[in-house]
Structure formats: structure tokens, C-alpha cells
């Protein structure tokens, strides 16, 4: 077939590491993610799939992002982005897995051709792939493997070099919508910064940002990108004092080390460096800048965290009020999407106080995004700070076309329109979400303490448990229960019953070789105790 010889030759240069018997590569929560030295061949094969996907979708550009986000520096990962900037359609994860697990170079060409035939893809049609990578040194090798696959399949390639994950998602959508009425923005990194800064100024409309903000960038790609973005803020119009910390990308070993959104969320404390300053508003990005967590050190009570659940309820409440002031309450359906990790108190607050519907999905923004698209305004955040707010085309039209009957209504409509430009519509974006939070706090004239008073979190704990075989664990009910191994869930249930207002679940991570256990209960000590007991159960069943 057309590309066979080149595919086979390229694959020989970027060979797949054959895994131990019984093991195979899986497209996980966020693509293929593992130790970087296993990924060269995987990335080559992902390049082949991206070219097929582009050809299947009328030559639209497909994105490939090389990152392992919150994982340690020795890991890396590769994932595919669909034309609108959202995650790869799930049906295609299966095809990615088939290609990546082909046992030899010749078999690989066969699987490629079979997919092309079965999916009725014309492999001589034009194809385009847009790609980027985070700051991990292993990214060089992986990008070379990817470029080699694109060359073998005669695919046009646009290498945007080092990017945050959400920037790559932005660029994919901008590329595909360029020159159309739905143009998403200029196809460049500068275009991304311009769009955000312009929308930020429109959202603020003369409101003031109180006090400085310290942003911990996990020593990842977010550091240089945030520093670059800050140059686009017109400080004379909108003074915004930001101190960027943990932005050392020259020492790869410090990536995500004792810093970043994952550290803050799982350890429930501020990064030790630089020494936290009591009272100052702080936030953390993760290694590829798609997650955001706020916090401060309260001089009286110590560390207080405002995680993804808090960002979600803050956004839902603010946008809900604006929609009401804009006279669109009857017209637009607002909903919130969470996962099993959402604190029970946040779900209660959204359902009973904000009176908005809440849907629970399995972990992974790919699941939440899809469900959020079912609303006119879909707010989705994972507790770990990964999420965004989606506005349907009808909602955006309503913001722009509704004829305001009062200055207050006009104000609300303008702010909603500006928010729909400020908030990344393709995927969770720490930078864009941070600007959204700053806008809301400024509009409400709220400090982080005011924000934290909206409801009280149930004490909770998240534990990582290493087991021999995480594949024996299978979940049901949006990951809230284990269906396998049989008997394990009954043991968890019997422990949960012993604690007040308690809930706990266990699931296999899709980005790390570990199990995750979550527990919440009426008191901190009970949440800790329950998490330890469930972790013990999981360890025993995972041998
Ligand atoms: C990725 C996904 C998130 C998910 C996280 C953890 O985040 O994009 O949706 O919550 O992994 O997933 P798991 O518990 O399966 O390991 P990131 O920021 O690491 O790309």
C-alpha cells in the first residue's frame, strides 16, 4: 500500500519496546503515559494514527501533545487532540491501542492499512498534524519520532515547539477555524496571549484586582508562558501584580517536585519553597499548566485550599447570576459536571444552594467535557483543578444579540460575552482559569477568605497505593464502586459504614502505575482513618 515501505523503515528507526507477556500499552486517562524510555515507538505510532484521523476528518488538523503533566520528570506522555481542540473521540482510543500494540514493524503497516480500509480512509488525501511538547528533555526524542511518522505518511506538520497543553488545544481549534465565521483566534502563541489579555480587560471593566498574586508554576512550562503572557497585560489600564515562582525549567529534575497543583491538592499544603507568606493570595499550576488550585496561609487557621470544586462553584454562581441579570435565565440551561472526587459539600452547595443540576462522570476531562457540552453553559472541574466552562453557540449568540433594556442588563451581557472569550473553550487551562477567578473575585470584591466561606468542605484524604496488578480493579457507577475483584467493594462498604457521613472509593489511575483511594468523613481523623483502612484493603486485593 501507499505508505508501507516508509512506515516500516520509520518504525525500525523508532522501535516499539515489547512489554512483558500479558501486558500491553493502553490509551489512559490522558493518552499514553509512562516512563519516557518506553515512549519513542509509541509516539511514532501515535503519529501514524493522527495522520489517519486527519484524513478521516476531511484533512482537518489534528493535534498531538507530548507531555506527562503532573507526573515526575522521568515520565512522558503523548495524546491526540481532535479538530475542535477537544480530546480524541473515544472510539479512536481503541484504534490507537491497536496500532501501538502491533508486535512488529510489518504488522504495524498491516494494522495501519486495515484501519484505513475499515474506516474508509483515503490515505492519499491531504493530512495535517499540529504538535507541541512540554519542557521535559525526553520530549526531543519523542518529537523526532512523531515527525518521522508524519513524514512517512506524507502529512503536513506544524511544530509549535514548547507549549502548555491548553495552548496546543487552542492552536488546533484556531487552525481549523481560521478564516471562518467561528474563527477561534490567531494561529500563533501570540494570538493566544492577545485573545486572553483583550478578553481579561473587557471582563474587568474598571474593576480592581486587590493585592498581589503568587503563582507557583511547578517548574514546568507554565512558568515561561505565564511570564510571556504578563507582557500582554496593559498594566496602565489594569494593574495586576503577579509574582511567578517555581519557574525553573533548566533543571528537569525539579519539575513537579514539592510544587504544583498536584502537590498542593494531594498533600493539602503549600509548596515549601518559596516560604509561604501568610495572608497573600496564591495559586499553583501543574507541570503542563492545565490544572489550577488556589490557597492562602491564614494567620489564624493555617493553610486553606480552594480546589477545582471551589472554582467550579464560584464560576457557576457568578455566571448564574450574570445570566439572570442578562434576562436569559429561562433560555439557557446551566449545569455542573463533577467526578467522584468532588467533595460532597460542594455537590450539596451546587444542587441545593445554587439550584443547578450536577452530573457525575468517570475521571478524565475527556468524560466531563463531553457531558458539559449537553448544557448551554456547562461548568466542569475535577477536584484536582482541571476544568473549564463551555458556552454553546446558542449561548454566545444570545450574549451578543440580546437587546438590553437597562444598563445593568447590558453590563451582564457584555461580561458574559467577554467571559466566553476569556475561558478556554477547548480544555481546562490554568492560565485562562486563573484570569477567570481573578475576574470573579474582583467583581465580587472578595478575598480568598470570603470565597472559602461559601460552604465548608467535608474533611477528605486522597491516597496513592502501589499494587502489583492494578488491572484487577474495575469500576462501575462513574467509578464510585468496584465491580472487580469481586468481594473487594463489600469490604470497603463495611468499613465506610463505621464512620459518620463517610464515603470512600478506589480506582486505578490512568496516568500512573498506582491505585487511588479517596475518603471523606465528618472529621479529619475519621477521613484519614477511613482512607488508611481502604488503602489496606486495596493493597491486599492488588497482590
Ligand atoms: C490527567 C487528566 C485528568 C485526570 C488526571 C488524573 O491530568 O487529564 O482529567 O484527573 O490525569 O488521572 P488519573 O487519576 O487517572 O491518574 P493531567 O493534568 O495529569 O494531564
Catalytic residues, which ones?
69
Please indicate whether residue 135 or residue 276 has the higher confidence score (pLDDT). 135
Distance of alpha carbon 40 from alpha carbon 139, whole angstroms: 10
Annotated binding site for substrate: 382-384, 507-511, 516
Average pLDDT over residues 274-292: 96
| CATH fold group of domain 460-541 | TATA-Binding Protein (3.30.310)
| CATH class (in words) of the domain with range 191-305 | alpha beta
User: Binding site residues, as ranges?
Assistant: 69, 286, 288, 290, 382-384, 507-511, 516
CATH number for domain 4-162, candidates 3.40.630.30, 3.40.50.2300, 3.90.580.10, 3.40.120.10: 3.40.120.10
Higher pLDDT, 469 or 184: 184
* C-alpha–C-alpha distance, residues 535 and 129, integer Å: 42
pLDDT digits (tens, 9 = 90+) for 33-86: 999 999 999 999 999 999 999 999 999 999 999 999 999 999 999 999 999 999
Q: Which DSSP symbol is given to 350?
A: I
Cα-based angle 455, 457, 461 (whole degrees, multiple of 5): 170
Do 44 and 148 contact (CB within 8 A), yes or no? Answer: yes
Task: Please list every protein residue whose CB sits less than 6 Å from any atom of ligand 1.
Answer: 29-30, 69-70, 286, 290-291, 363-365, 382, 384, 386, 509-512, 516
Ligand 1 center to 387 CA (angstroms): 11
* Interface predicted TM-score (ipTM) of this complex, two decimals: 0.96
If you average pLDDT over every residue of the chain, what do you get? 96
Task: Rounding to the nearest 10 degrees, give the CA dihedral for residues 68, 73, 74, 76.
Answer: 20
Q: Identify the CATH number of the domain defined by range 308-452.
A: 3.40.120.10
For residue 32, pLDDT beyond 90: yes
Is residue 21 very low, low, confident or very high in pLDDT (cuts 50, 70, 90)?
A: confident
Using DSSP's 3-state secondary structure scheme, residue 162 falls into strand
Q: What angle do CA 79, 30, 543 make, to 5 degrees?
A: 125
Q: How far is the CA of 78 from the centre of ligand 1 (A)?
A: 13
313 CB-near residues (< 8 Å, 6+ apart): 336, 346, 349, 350, 354, 454, 455
- Number of helices (H), then strands (E), belonging to the chain: the values are 18, 19
SS3 139: helix
pLDDT of residue 219: 98
Q: What is the SS3 assignment for 61?
A: strand
Q: What is the pLDDT of residues 366-418, one digit of tens each?
A: 999 999 999 999 999 999 999 999 999 999 999 999 999 999 999 999 999 99
d(CA 273, CA 219): 11
Which pLDDT does position 7 carry in this prediction?
A: 97
Q: Give the model confidence (pLDDT) of 191-214 as tens digits.
A: 999 999 999 999 998 899 999 999
Domain ranges of the chain: 4-162, 191-305, 308-452, 460-541
pLDDT score for 243: 98
- Taking residue 204's Cβ as centre, other Cβ atoms within 10 Å add up to 21
C-alpha span between 195 and 506 (Å, rounded):
40
- Same fold for the pair 308-452 and 460-541: no
Quote the DSSP letter at residue 387.
Answer: E
Sign of CA dihedral 519, 523, 528, 533: negative
Cβ 376 vs Cβ 489: under 8 Å: no
pLDDT digits (tens, 9 = 90+) for 77-112: 999 999 999 999 999 999 999 999 999 999 999 999
Pairing between β-strand 334-339 and β-strand 358-361 as defined by DSSP bridges: parallel
Instruction: Identify whether the C-beta of residue 377 lies closer than 8 Å to the C-beta of residue 332.
Output: yes
Query: Which residue is closest in CA terms to ligand 1's atom 14?
Result: 509
Amino acid at each position: 500500500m501507499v505508505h508501507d515501505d516508509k512506515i516500516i523503515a520509520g518504525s525500525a528507526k523508532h522501535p516499539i519496546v515489547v512489554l512483558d507477556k500479558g501486558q500491553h500499552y493502553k490509551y489512559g486517562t490522558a493518552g499514553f503515559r509512562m516512563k519516557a524510555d518506553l515512549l519513542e515507538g509509541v509516539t511514532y505510532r501515535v503519529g501514524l494514527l493522527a495522520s489517519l484521523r486527519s484524513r478521516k476528518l476531511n484533512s482537518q488538523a489534528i493535534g498531538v501533545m507530548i507531555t506527562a503533566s503532573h507526573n515526575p520528570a522521568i515520565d512522558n506522555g503523548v495524546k491526540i487532540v481532535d479538530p475542535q481542540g477537544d480530546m480524541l473521540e473515544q472510539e479512536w482510543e481503541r484504534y490507537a491501542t491497536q496500532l501501538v500494540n502491533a508486535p512488529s514493524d510489518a504488522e504495524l503497516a498491516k494494522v495501519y492499512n486495515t484501519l484505513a480500509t475499515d474506516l474508509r480512509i483515503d490515505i492519499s488525501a491531504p493530512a495535517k498534524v499540529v504538535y507541541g511538547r512540554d519542557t521535559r528533555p525526553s520530549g526531543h526524542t519523542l518529537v523526532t519520532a512523531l515527525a518521522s511518522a508524519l513524514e512517512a505518511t506524507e502529512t503536513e506538520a506544524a511544530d509549535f515547539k514548547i507549549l502548555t497543553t491548553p495552548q496546543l488545544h487552542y492552536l488546533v481549534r484556531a487552525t481549523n477555524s481560521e478564516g471562518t465565521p467561528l474563527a477561534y483566534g490567531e494561529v500563533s502563541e501570540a494570538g493566544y496571549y492577545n485573545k486572553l489579555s483583550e478578553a481579561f480587560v473587557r471582563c474587568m471593566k474598571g474593576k480592581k484586582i486587590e493585592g498581589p498574586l503568587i503563582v507557583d508554576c511547578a517548574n514546568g512550562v507554565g512558568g515561561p508562558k505565564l511570564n510571556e503572557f504578563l507582557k500582554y497585560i496593559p498594566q496602565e489600564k489594569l494593574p495586576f501584580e503577579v509574582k511567578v515562582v517555581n519557574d525553573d525549567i533548566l533543571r528537569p529534575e525539579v519539575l513537579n517536585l514539592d510544587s504544583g497543583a498536584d502537590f498542593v491538592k494531594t498533600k493539602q499544603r503549600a509548596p515549601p519553597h518559596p516560604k509561604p507568606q501568610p495572608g497573600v493570595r496564591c495559586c499553583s499550576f501543574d507541570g503542563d499548566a492545565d490544572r489550577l488550585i488556589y490557597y492562602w496561609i491564614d494567620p489564624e487557621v493555617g493553610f486553606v485550599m480552594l480546589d477545582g470544586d471551589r472554582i467550579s462553584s464560584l464560576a457557576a454562581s457568578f455566571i448564574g447570576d450574570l445570566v439572570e441579570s442578562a434576562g436569559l435565565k429561562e433560555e439557557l440551561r446551566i449545569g455542573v459536571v463533577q467526578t467522584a472526587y468532588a467533595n460532597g459539600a460542594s455537590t450539596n452547595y451546587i444542587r441545593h444552594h445554587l439550584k443547578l443540576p450536577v452530573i457525575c462522570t468517570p475521571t478524565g476531562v475527556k468524560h466531563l467535557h463531553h457531558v458539559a457540552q449537553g448544557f448551554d453553559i456547562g461548568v466542569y472541574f475535577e477536584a484536582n483543578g482541571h476544568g473549564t466552562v463551555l458556552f454553546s453557540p446558542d449561548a454566545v449568540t444570545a450574549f451578543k444579540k440580546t437587546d438590553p433594556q437597562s444598563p445593568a442588563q447590558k453590563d451582564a451581557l457584555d461580561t458574559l460575552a467577554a467571559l466566553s472569550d476569556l475561558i478556554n473553550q477547548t480544555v481546562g487551562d490554568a492560565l485562562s482559569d486563573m484570569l477567570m477567578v481573578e475576574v470573579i473575585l474582583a467583581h465580587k470584591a472578595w478575598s480568598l477568605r470570603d470565597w472559602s466561606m461559601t460552604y465548608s468542605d467535608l474533611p477528605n484524604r486522597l491516597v496513592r497505593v502501589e499494587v502489583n496488578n492494578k488491572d484487577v480493579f474495575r469500576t462501575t457507577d462513574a467509578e464510585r464502586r468496584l465491580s472487580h475483584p469481586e468481594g473487594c467493594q463489600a469490604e470497603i462498604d463495611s468499613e465506610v459504614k463505621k464512620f459518620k457521613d463517610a464515603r470512600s472509593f478506589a480506582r486505578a489511575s490512568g496516568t500512573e502505575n498506582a491505585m487511588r483511594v479517596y475518603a471523606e468523613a465528618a472529621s479529619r481523623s475519621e477521613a484519614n482513618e477511613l482512607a488508611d483502612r481502604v488503602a489496606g484493603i486495596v493493597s491486599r486485593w492488588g497482590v
